[in-house]
Chains A and B, each alone.
Chain A
Amino acid sequence: MRLPRRLARTWTAGAGCALALLIASGLGARADRNDRTDRSEGLRAFGEIAKVLRHPRCLNCHTTTSFPRQGDDRHPHANLVRRGPEDRGVPGMACGTCHQAENNPASGVPGKPGWRLAPLSMGWEGLADGELCRVFKDPRRNGGRDLPALTRHLASDPLVAYGWDPGGNRQPVPVPREELVQLMRAWTSAGAPCAAARAAGAPSAAAAAAAAAAAAH
């Protein structure tokens, strides 16, 4: 029995659509998997970047306070040093009163050109990965830098260079600078993903650490 020509055409068209849908959904699933892979790779890359951002060489001047910290134990900076209105200390006691353009082998005082604190908007202390990531890449908080500018900043800023050349017996940041740049590129090409925000009421990493420390005593 022959199908009426019109019905056959309809079936053919329907089968074609179904096939197209099947292929499309298959591709979509693969794209989803790729997205998920990209995202997880991006998050992993940022996890490594965060190790640098949280290192004392960076965090001591990326504070959320009115003062910098110093040392691998991150104690408040000696001499009651203040951040000041422009993040360069206060009249009579500016960063440049002691810190010059190079590490000083005679006094042991570290130095690099433009020694200063990061602005408060770039304070990273106490931030979980997701929050740190969002603050880090937000141009309203990071000095107006888009992702390529952030990478360039980490790759070539002379003050950032201090992290790898701290002088004395200070520990340098744990990830080589070239590797950090590669991590930035990997994170960027994955869409610069950030971990989801904590559920409301969940303790931050800092709060959890404080609670654990309190429990230990």
Chain B
Amino acid sequence: MPSFKVNGKVHDVDADPGTPLLWILREQLGLTGTKFGCGIARCGACTVHVDGEPVRSCSFPLAAAAGREVTTIEGLSPDRSHPLQRAWIAEQVPQCGYCQSGMLMTAAALLRARPRPTDEEIDFAMTNLCRCGTYARVRRAIRRASGQPAQGAGA
């Protein structure tokens, strides 16, 4: 299996090429910040970046990661200082917290493409599911992290 990078470090794992990347990250590399939620790419708890683009790692085969650069929640910033991580704390977004790493990785991908997203852009990007219903807080935190008033027109 050709190697790939995770959070800047090269890995060469021995596993079936069809294994979902999620299980490689969690069980072989010990990066348990990425969560298993639904297993069918619906909930987004397993979202990581591959070459900067968000993917749902439960539906991403190991073989497709060959030669590519994966970023997990552990690699979003070296010291939890990403503007989204700070905004998440400021807005007290997490409740149980289970979905939040996926939420943050999706939000980070959104802000890279749209540094000042509209509420609609936030809503259509943030399709991650949260059983605690933190959606309004998620939107406020994304607005805060992008330098916009936390209370938008529809917040």
- A101 CB–B CB distance under 8 Å: yes
- A98 CB–B CB distance under 8 Å: yes
What are the residues of chain B within 8 A of A91 when measuring CB–CB? Answer: 109-110, 112-114, 117, 121, 125
The distance from the CB of A99 to the nearest CB of chain B, in whole angstroms, is 8
B18 touches A106 (CB 8 A): yes
In terms of DSSP, what is the predominant structure of the interface of chain A? loop
**Cβ-closest chain B residue relative to A81:** B127
B61 touches A90 (CB 8 A): no
- A108 CB–B CB distance under 8 Å: yes
B:38-59 near A, CB below 8 Å: 39-42, 47, 53-56, 58-59
Q: How far is the CA of A82 from the CA of B126 in the complex (A)?
A: 12
Q: How many A-B Cβ pairs are below 8 Å?
A: 80
Q: A90-B121, A91-B110, A91-B121 are in contact. Are A106 and B53 (CB under 8 A)?
A: no
B41 touches A93 (CB 8 A): no
B20 touches A107 (CB 8 A): yes
Q: A90-B121, A100-B64 are in contact. Are A109 and B114 (CB under 8 A)?
A: no
From A93, A101, A105, A106, B125 is in contact (CB under 8 Å) with: A93
- A169 CB–B CB distance under 8 Å: no
Q: How far is the CA of A105 from the CA of B106 in the complex (A)?
A: 24
The interface of chain B, by Cβ under 8 A from chain A, is 18-20, 39-42, 47, 53-56, 58-61, 64, 106-107, 109-110, 112-114, 117, 121, 123-127
16 contacts between A and B (CB under 8 A): A90-B121, A91-B113, A92-B54, A92-B107, A92-B110, A92-B124, A96-B55, A98-B41, A104-B59, A104-B61, A105-B18, A106-B19, A106-B20, A106-B58, A106-B61, A107-B58
The interface of chain A, by Cβ under 8 A from chain B, is 78-82, 90-94, 96-98, 100-102, 104-109
